[in-house]
Amino acid sequence: MKNLYKIRLKNDDLEGGKNLVRKTKNQPLFTIITVVLNQEKYLETAIQSLLKQKINNYEYILIDGGSTDNSLKIIKKYNNKISYWVSQKDKGIYDAFNKGMLLAKGKYIGILNSDDKYTKRALEIIKKYIIKFPKKDFIFGSVKKHWGVLHGYNPKKITYSWGFYTSHSTGFFIKRSSAKKVGLYNIKYKYHADYDYFYRMIVLKKMDGVATKKKEIVGIFRRGGFSSKISYRKLFFEELKIRYNNKQNVLIIIIIAVFKFFKHFRKIIK
């Protein structure tokens, strides 16, 4: 990852923001990234949840994938509150994440989904953990879903399960210096590039992280996110591919494949 990424505009691409020339004088504590594509229903709520934070030591980058609804109108409404935004077609959500990360100047990078929102004290909670654990590479903040609260972090589970963490996006913060070592999201993975990212981060790069307490909720998720729209079969086979490409023990991969195949047989053959 380079320190600064130049967005190349083509045809009808647009850009804006209060720091359009990307000359932020001081390094902010946070870079918050929102990627969006046709999310007029929830986008403004997400933006406002960040703007209402008591901590304002952040830059806000918004990457739009060429929305055809009113998303761009909402973005322009907050032009002076957004550090930088661009609207152009991309190669998917993970390509958009990469653009945002390459533009980032903050000490820590966080991703706020366009259909989710931060709690009122989200950045305060994360800052407290940054101060308490300055050597940690990343922080998993607890997040609330419609059925309960996801909390905690157990890196040992990554060898056989993806249930080792709270959230890939709205509750996840990583040091920019550590993110550079992990690299970008691999966009050849259409559904699970976030899991590939975490596998490289935790297993290959052996980075260390911490989770907030259960009651220290950072984000609130809505139903119907990106992964929820993908068939289990596609997710299943891509997970196995990621494990294999990251050189996980083949025997363990086979055991995982057999176990999940029988446990989720109906979903896989559907």
Task: Please report which confidence band the pLDDT of residue 6 belongs to, taking 50, 70 and 90 as the band edges.
Answer: low
CATH number of the domain at 14-230, please?
A: 3.90.550.10
- Which residues make beta-bridge pairs with 220? 117, 144
CA dihedral sign, ordered 30, 87, 112, 70: positive
Report yes or no on whether pTM surpasses 0.85.
yes
CA dihedral sign, ordered 111, 139, 171, 193: positive
Contact at 8 Å (CB) between 246 and 198? no
What tokens does 234 get?
């596609």
Helices first, then strands: H and E counts in the chain: 9, 12
pLDDT tens figures, 148-197: 898 888 888 888 887 787 777 899 999 999 999 999 999 999 888 999 99
- Which residues make beta-bridge pairs with 58? 30
Contact at 8 Å (CB) between 172 and 141? yes
DSSP for 29-72, written as a single string: SEEEEEEESS-TTTHHHHHHHHHT-S---EEEEEEE---SSSHH
Q: At what angle do helices 250-263 and 232-245 cross, to 10 degrees?
A: 170
pLDDT tens figures, 259-268: 887 766 566 6
pLDDT averaged over the chain?
89
- Is 50 exceeded by the pLDDT of residue 3? no
The pLDDT of residue 1 is: 57
Instruction: Identify which of 201, 205, 221, 45 has the alpha carbon closest to the alpha carbon of residue 141.
Output: 221
- Which residues make beta-bridge pairs with 138? 174, 209
pLDDT tens figures, 43-89: 999 999 999 999 999 999 999 999 999 999 999 999 999 999 999 99
Q: Which residue in this structure is represented by tokens 């920019």?
A: 176
CB neighbour class for 47 (10 Å; exposed up to 12, middle 13-18, buried from 19)? buried
Cα 89 from Cα 63, distance rounded (Å): 10
